[in-house]
Amino acid sequence: MSERKRPSFVHDQRGGVMILAALLLPVMIGVAALVVEFGGGLLTKARLQRVADLAAFSGATAYNRASSTTAMTAAAQMVGRLNNVANTALNAQLVNSPRGDGSQVVQVTVAVSNRLYLSKVLGFTSNLPVAATAYASLGSATPGCVIALSSSGTGVTLSGGTSISAPKCGVSSNVSIAVPCGTTITTKEATYVSAAPSAPCSGLKDANGATLSAKQKTVTDPLASEAGVAAATGRISTAQALSSPSAPSVSAGKDIDFAWNQSGTAGQATAIGCTATWVQPTWTMTCPAGGNYNFKKMTIGGGIAVKFAMTGSTAATRYTFSDVLPLSGSTVDFGTGTYSFAKGLSVGGGTTVTFAAGTFSFGASTTACSDGGYYSICNTGTSLAFDGPSTFSIGSGVYVGGGSVMNFGAGTSNVYDLGASSNGHALTMAGGAKTYFADSNSGSGKWQAAGNINVLGGGGSCLTLPAATQHDIKGYFAGAGGTILGAGVYTVTGYIAFGASGGGDVTCNGQTVGVKGVDVTLVTAGGSTYGSGTCQGKAFCMGAGYGTVSLTAPTSGTTAKLAVVGPTSGTTAGAAFAEGATTSFSGAFYFPKGPISLSGGASIGNGTGQCLQIIGSQIDISGGTTAASACLGASASGGTVALVQ
């Protein structure tokens, strides 16, 4: 009998696979659920990150424009709503930058929950939290127009009914800000470091008149790397290196006496190589063009007029004077030529002297002028005038006596090289004196002085300086009367002071002037400071009595928008505007090492594009109104917003 066959399914493995598949099916469904739903979470996070980025950028832009966290939040939430994110799911706030640089940024966090369905098969929660965060920098900070840089002292201080109007820029201090009752600051942003601003009567306001909350933030010097500042202060070494020009070397000449007695004068003129003719009361001296004529002493009788080489003379005609030339009489006229005065020129009372255009070189007089100093030119006469364009080499400076008038040059290409007198002055003016320098801003023109510009005793005086690319002064620059500054940069190694010892506005050239300058930059190294009174210890001072002051910085060029640049190294001497000293001021007033005090109200000018930016170690403003705006170092637009991370 044959063996019974076993059933075939005992050896069939297909049934085992089906059983295994049935057992794994729930696991596979769970994994698929995780992939689908957690993948959806990643897509949601990517979408939320885009929303957070856009919201942070929009919030930072709004904050820059309005300096308001309310405006910032509203702008960020608007972006959220446009992307189907509810206001409750989006949070915007100002925080410190994650870069750790001390700046503030706008942080936006967007958080939602994704609903889970299939994942519950494996026991997961029914909601998946998804969040994204973005940071947007505020770009360059609100541009500062009133800035106190020092980390010690008083910072920015107001008193005496003062108000600062700076609605489009910031007021910043690395210490604090004091806004006592009766004073106000209107500004886009106020910042401090060590102590919150003192404003007991809510005098710190935004552009809309609402109380402004100050921010705690360190302010840096916005002009520290400014090319114009570097160029301005770099010129100081050139001014410090100036030296007085040498006296001319001349041969011994012959004497001539223009007298009422005619017997000797004609022969003396012939000995020199010229001819002299007499028509009462005038001697006419004629010397052939192109020759060399050497004089020693020249004397002129009282009431006699002398006309000297009025015809035929040229620039090649050379006149030398080996002794001091003391001119007196009614009038003395000189023609075109090259003039050398070995021992200077002196013009006495009641005399009017005129020179045609030429080249003029002066040594020092051996006779002291009215202030006891030995100068190259001592003018105590009625008037001394040189036509132009002319070239002047004045070894020992110029003295202009009380009531006397002095005119240097004409045209635009005059050259001035002034040395120092025995008492250190390149120019001294007494009360009521008037001195005019024609422009030096074309051709080979220049203006430099190796001594002080000393008009401290010149109340009622009028000084007009030329337009020139550079005005270099080795010493101080001090005025007591009206001063008109020609365009250009004035680099002064000592102090600059107007009205430090009295004086004030004067009628100059038909206009009432205290100090006037258009397209002017004043640079002081502060190598010396004023010694007494309101201006004591200052490197720059505008004193009492100056109610008509207008200083406007250049609008273009190397020092564009720089009005006054104080010491950037060495001395900490400061600046002061005293007792209503200025009525119109435009440009950056920059004293990074020294304090600035303004009393009586410095105000912005009315011209298009003008500004007033005040930067000092400390700033004290009292009396009047100061209108401030940013000039340099930051954009007035509020800065460029950028995503940080």
Alpha carbon distance 443, 280 (integer Å)? 43
Kindly report the number of other CB atoms within 10 A of residue 246's CB atom. Answer: 11
With pLDDT > 70 as the criterion, what percentage of the chain qualifies? 86
From residue 301, give the alpha-carbon distance in Å to each of 171, 283, 326, 330, 379: 68, 11, 12, 9, 18
pLDDT of residue 27: 57
**What are 29's two structure tokens?**
């469904």
Q: Name the band, by pLDDT with cuts 50, 70 and 90, for residue 560.
A: very high
Could you tell me what percent of the chain has a pLDDT over 90? 62
Task: Tell me the three state secondary structure of residue 439.
Answer: coil
Q: Which residues contact 82 (CB under 8 A, 6 or more apart)?
A: none
For residue 19, name the pLDDT band (cuts at 50, 70, 90): low
Amino acid symbol at 238: T
Query: Is the pLDDT assigned to residue 50 strictly greater than 90?
Result: yes
Of the given ranges (5-14, 256-265, 278-287), which has the lowest mean pLDDT? 5-14
Residue 219 neighbours by CB under 8 Å, 6+ apart = 141, 144, 147, 149, 172, 173, 174, 191, 193
Least confident of 133-142, 179-188, 236-245: 133-142
Res. 6: pLDDT tops 60: no
Amino acid at 164: I
Evaluate if residue 341 carries a pLDDT over 50: yes
Q: What is the 3-state secondary structure (H, E, C) of 139-170?
A: CCCCCEEEEECCCCCCCEEEECCCEEEEEEEE
Strands 127-137 and 642-643, by their bridges, are antiparallel
Residue 31: per-residue pLDDT = 57
pLDDT over 90 at 485, yes or no: yes
Whether 463 and 483 have beta carbons less than 8 Å apart is answered as: yes
SS3 77: helix
pLDDT digits (tens, 9 = 90+) for 542-553: 887 787 888 999
Q: What are φ and ψ of residue 627, in 5° steps?
A: -100, 115
Helix axes 14-66, 69-82, angle to 10 degrees: 140
Q: Give the mean model confidence (pLDDT) for residues 394-408.
A: 97
Assess whether pLDDT exceeds 50 at residue 574: yes
137, 97 contact by CB (below 8 A): yes
DSSP code at position 502? B
Q: Which residues pair with residue 592 across a beta bridge? A: none
- The answer on pLDDT for 492 being more than 50 is yes
Q: Is 571 helix (H, G, I), strand (E, B) or coil?
A: coil
Q: Is the pLDDT of residue 132 over 50?
A: yes
Q: Is the pLDDT of residue 483 over 80?
A: yes
Q: What is the mean pLDDT of residues 364-378?
A: 96
Return the closest-CA partner of residue 506 out of 466, 462, 560, 562. 462
Q: How confident is the model at residue 1 (pLDDT cuts 50, 70, 90)?
A: very low
Q: Chain-wide mean pLDDT for the chain? A: 87
Whether residue 67 is predicted with pLDDT greater than 70 in this model: the reply is no
CA within 13 Å, CB half, 484: 21
- 305 and 279 Cβ atoms separated by less than 8 Å: no
pLDDT band at 607 (very low <50, low <70, confident <90, very high): low
Closest to 497 in 3D by CA, of 430, 464, 452: 452
Q: Give me the pLDDT at residue 123, please.
A: 59
- CB-count burial class (<10 Å; 0-12, 13-18, 19+) for 155: buried
Q: What is the mean pLDDT of residues 500-517?
A: 85
Average pLDDT of the residues in 227-234: 95
**Under the phi-then-psi rule, with left for phi > 0, alpha for psi from -120 to 50, and beta for the rest, what region is 432?**
left
What whole-number distance in Å separates Cα of residue 253 and Cα of residue 429? 32
Residue 582 has a pLDDT of 54
DSSP string, 184-207: EEEEEEEEESSS--B-TT--EE-T
Within 10 Å of residue 2's Cβ, how many Cβ atoms?
A: 4
pLDDT at 22: 59
pLDDT of the residue at 637: 35
pLDDT of residue 640: 63
**Best-predicted range by mean pLDDT among 40-49, 399-408, 537-546, 609-618?**
399-408
SS3 state at 288? coil
242: three-class secondary structure by DSSP? coil
Predicted confidence band of residue 311 (pLDDT cuts 50, 70, 90): low
